A and B are shown apart, each in its own frame.
Chain A
Amino acid sequence: MVKLLCHRLLLAVPTLVIVSMMIFGLQKMLPGDPVLAMAGEQPDPQVIQYLQHKYHFDEPVPQQYLLWVKDALHGDLGEALRTGVPVSTLIAQKLPVTLQLSVMALAFAMLIGIPGGILSASNRGRPLDYGANVLALSGMSIPNFWFGLILILLFSVHWHLLPSAGYVSPADHFWLSIKTMLMPAFVLGMGLGAQLMRHTRSAMLGVLRSDYIRTARAKGLRWPTVVIKHGFRNALGPVVTVLTLLLGELLAGAVLTEQIFTIPGFGKLIVDSVFNRDYAVVQGVVLCTAICFILLNMLADLLYILLNPRLRRGS
């Protein structure tokens, strides 16, 4: 097990290195001189010089990269252009917000997706399955920013049930916080839930066809027990794998959802920094995302191996 963990960690290192190089390379793609872009309307030669030194533009590119990495390892990802707030501080502030949104969205997704998938698989071929599949496909096809707008139209504008924007920290006011997050979390969770339902369905279908399920039924066990106790436990592996895939979509969805609902989270940070042409922030944020993802994928790999006793021995 420990050997496996080390193996995976070591494999992740080159990936991390390449990602960091690519992200660093992004800024070299910019047309024109980034210093001039940062210096603003009236380029004061002193300001230019200062900026060039600060961002190490006067040094060769590989050196710039190494310095950037060194800083990043120390937690220094640069500063926001206008406010001068360190990027790491920004991330620390905004990540918990997105985390709350994500957790609630995942809750919705699992509530919709997993039972939906199990039900669908158990009723294969019948109208319930067909209908569920149509619903799932629709859920996957709806752009979540549009879905958000529609919900705002209904629940905020028309019926005045839920707030359409803003954020309340749970520390301040728990239930209001939940209420404010309800619509965004639902919007975000729905697309994920649709995909989760389809994957759960196919995983369950694969499992339900197997011989040990037939044995369980032959033993006389009641169908729901069979499905859940025997079936789902074995379908758990692929479901966990899918969840990790969906994490990527979660973040991407968060970007759009936070924009619609004006939630000051990690996603909105990306969008705002792109609008402000605050490239240092964009780079820092993307790097952070990539690192999280690689680590999460590793975790998912390990979880999958843990769940599947057959893989635990050897690689």
Chain B
Amino acid sequence: MNTRDAVHDVPSASRPTPIIEARELTRHFGGKRELFTTTPTIYAVNGVSLKVQAGETFAIVGESGSGKSTLGRLLLRLLDSTNGRVLYQGKDITSLAAEPMRRLRREMQLIFQDPFASLNPGMTVGRIVGEPIALHGLARNGGERAERVAELLRTVGLQPDYAQRYPHEFSGGQRQRISVARALAGEPKLVVGDEPVSALDVSVQAQVINLLETLKHSLGLTLIIIAHDLAVVRHMSDRVAVMYLGEIVEVARVDDLYDTPMHPYTQALLSAVPASTPHARRAVPVLGGEMPSPTEPPGGCHFHPRCPHARPRCQVEKPVNERVGDGHVVACHFWREIQNAGGSPSLASHVSAKLEERLAWYRAAQARAVVPGVSDHHG
């Protein structure tokens, strides 16, 4: 059992009870002893602690296999943890009984990744969206329920008369909207999106992201977005947690993370984000190798085999969460030394001096060329 500092800071402005909190959450799969063999143990999530404040958009990023989807389900108790605790609004719900948990589910919903597999093909859209309403008794009769369904559909940007149709008649983006409508039907406080836009076309991704943002503000939701696309995350999150091989390596406010990433893994991830101009590219070593299998996590710091800054201590001793700044936490032994290795390309364009000069000439020429017919040969 690793003793980890459960210091997981929140912007120091206030410390209200987080809407959802994980304490040393651990989940292992497998390890079952069968007749002659033992199935391999998958260390999906190891001792993860985090706090999400009400009303914020909290992102969890990582590669495939990092355990982020598992973490999402652990938070909602769709999976039971091997160890650790989950607290909802300050109350420990880790071993909450089935019936109260079912009632609680109304307040915490999940949006799935694959829009083509997450809707029951045998139910109409109206039934799908209306199911939580019926289940939690939020409408007095069928007519009222139908009205609520219609309103929900409108809210997510779909026509109310879609309620009579079946999922297979809709596109991926529309299906995801239906999923959102269903998630909102119970009037939840917390919505977890498990890679909600990964399976959609890029053009549609933006629509769904904007929808989620709008809804979050209008309904006062808390969003936890699990994703691997850093550009998406930057756009919509307040705080970000970076996961690697079942553990959280860094948590920070979004701007802090993107501007001054501390953990080598975060740095490597961010360096892979395409730059907006060639000048903004950084010379950061490309991350070599592959993430190891969760069945055989490396000892000490999980990241040490691929870390360009790895030292002997990293192979042996597990790093502990250390506070870097306001609301910024990192799990690395040598973050101070690595500090200046770089962040992501900044959003603002980095313009060179020569280009500035030429632009000035161009604008000047434009200002002069008021009379039509007078041609200018300046560039």
Closest B residue, CB atoms, query A315: B37
Q: Is A6 an interface residue (CB 8 A)?
A: yes
Q: How far is the CB of A311 from chain B (nearest CB, A)?
A: 15
Q: Say how far B36's CB is from chain A's closest CB, in angstroms.
A: 5
For B36, the closest partner residue in chain A by CB is A3
Q: Which residue of B lies closest to A10 (CB)?
A: B35
Contact with B along A1-14 (1 / 0, CB 8 A): 00100110010000
Write the nearest CB–CB distance from A282 to chain B, whole angstroms.
Answer: 35
For B37, the closest partner residue in chain A by CB is A315
**Chain A residues whose C-beta falls within 8 Å of the C-beta of B37 in the assembled complex:** 315
Q: Which residues of B contact A3 (CB under 8 A)?
A: 36
Q: Could you mark each residue 33-59 of chain B with 1 if its beta carbon is under 8 Å from any beta carbon of chain A, else 0?
A: 001110000000000000000000000
Bound together, the chains give a CA A6 to CA B34 distance in angstroms of 13
Q: Determine the distance from Cα of A50 to Cα of B37 in the docked complex, in whole angstroms.
A: 53
Scan residues 8-30 of chain A and give those whose CB is less than 8 A from a CB of chain B.
10
How far is B35's CA from A58's CA once the two chains are assembled, in angstroms? 40
Smallest CB separation, A301 vs chain B (Å): 15
Range of interface residues on A (Cβ < 8 Å): under 10
| Cα–Cα, bound, A245→B36 (Å) | 28
CB of B379 to closest CB in A, whole Å: 59
- Provide the residues of chain A in CB contact with B35, threshold 8 Å: 6-7, 10
Contacts of A6 in B (CB 8 A): 35-36
18-46 of chain B: CB within 8 A of chain A: 35-37
Q: How many residues of B contact A (CB 8 A)?
A: 3
Map CB proximity to A onto B195-238 as digits: 1 under 8 Å, 0 otherwise. Answer: 00000000000000000000000000000000000000000000
Q: Complex: how many Å from CA A315 to CA B36?
A: 10
Which residues of B sit under 8 angstroms from A10, Cβ to Cβ?
Answer: 35
Smallest beta-carbon distance A315→chain B, Å: 7
Q: Whole-angstrom distance between the alpha carbons of A66 and B37 in the complex?
A: 33
A47 to B37, CA, bound (A): 56
C-alpha spacing A7/B34, complex, angstroms: 10
Q: In the complex, A10→B35 CA distance in Å?
A: 9
Closest-CB distance, A31 to chain B (whole angstroms):
43
A6 to B230, CA, bound (A): 52
Interfacial chain B residues near A7, Cβ < 8 Å: 35-36
Q: Complex: how many Å from CA A10 to CA B37?
A: 14
Complex formed: what's the CA distance from A7 to B35 in Å? 7
- Please, which residue of chain B has its CB at the minimum distance from the CB of A7? B35
Q: How far is the CA of A153 from the CA of B358 in the complex (A)?
A: 108
**Complex interface bits, A301-315 against B, C-beta within 8 A gives 1, otherwise 0:** 000000000000001
Q: How far is the CB of B39 from chain A (nearest CB, A)?
A: 11
Complex CA–CA separation, A298 to B118 (angstroms) = 40
| A193 to B18 Cα, complex, angstroms | 71
Give the complex CA separation of A7 and B36 in angstroms.
8
Smallest distance from the beta carbon of B34 to chain A beta carbons, Å? 9
Indicate with 1 or 0, residue by residue over A279-315, a CB within 8 angstroms of chain B CB atoms. Answer: 0000000000000000000000000000000000001
Closest B residue to A11 by CB, please name it: B35
Distance in angstroms from B30 CB to nearest chain A CB is 15
**Chain B residue contacts of A315, Cβ below 8 A:** 37
**In the assembly, what is the distance between CA of A216 and CA of B328, in Å?**
63
Tell me the nearest residue of chain B to A3, going by C-beta: B36
Q: Which of chain B's residues 272-297 have a Cβ closer than 8 Å to chain A?
A: none
Q: How far is the CA of A31 from the CA of B219 in the complex (A)?
A: 70
Minimum CB–CB distance for A202 against chain B, Å: 28
Within 8 Å CB of B36, what residues of A? 3, 6-7
CB of A103 to closest CB in B, whole Å = 36
- Expressed in whole angstroms, the minimum distance between the Cβ of A15 and any Cβ of chain B is 15
B302, chain A: closest CB distance, angstroms: 28
- Select from chain B the residue with minimum beta-carbon distance to A4: B36
Determine how close the nearest CB of chain A comes to the CB of B222; give it in whole angstroms. Answer: 46
A67 to chain B, nearest CB (A): 31
User: Which of A265-279 touch B at CB < 8 Å?
Assistant: none
B149–chain A nearest beta-carbon distance, Å = 46
What 0/1 pattern do residues 207 to 249 of A give for CB contact below 8 A with B?
0000000000000000000000000000000000000000000
Q: Bound complex: CA of A303 vs CA of B113, how far in Å?
A: 43
B197 CB → nearest A CB, Å: 37
Give chain B nearest CB distance to A304 CB in angstroms: 19
Shortest Cβ gap from A2 to chain B (Å): 10
Complexed CA–CA distance, A3 and B36 (Å): 8
A272 to B36, CA, bound (A): 46
Complex-state Cα separation, A34 to B121, whole angstroms: 56
CA distance A6 to B37 in the complex (A): 13
Closest A residue to B35 using CB positions: A7
Q: In chain A, residues 108-129, which have Cβ atoms closer than 8 Å to a Cβ of chain B?
A: none
- B80 CB to nearest chain A CB (Å): 28
A3 to B37, CA, bound (A): 10
CB distance from B32 to the nearest CB of A (A): 13
CA distance A3 to B35 in the complex (A): 10
Chain B proximity of A82: nearest CB distance (Å): 47
* Complexed CA–CA distance, A31 and B238 (Å): 76
Complex Cα spacing A176 to B149, Å: 82
How distant is the Cα of A7 from the Cα of B37 in the complex, in angstroms? 11
Cα(A72)–Cα(B45), bound, Å: 53
A80 to B35: give the CA distance in the assembly, Å.
Answer: 42
Nearest CB on B from A107, distance (A): 38
In the assembled complex, the CB of B191 is this many whole angstroms from the nearest CB of chain A, namely: 42
User: Which A residues between 174 and 215 are near B, CB-CB below 8 angstroms?
Assistant: none
- State in angstroms the CA–CA spacing of A47 and B35 once bound together: 51
Nearest CB of chain A from residue B341's CB, rounded to whole Å: 44
List the interface of chain B (C-beta within 8 A of A).
35-37
Chain A to chain B contacts (Cβ below 8 Å), 6 pairs? A3-B36, A6-B35, A6-B36, A7-B35, A7-B36, A315-B37
Q: Closest 7 CB pairs between A and B?
A: A3-B36, A7-B35, A10-B35, A7-B36, A315-B37, A6-B36, A6-B35
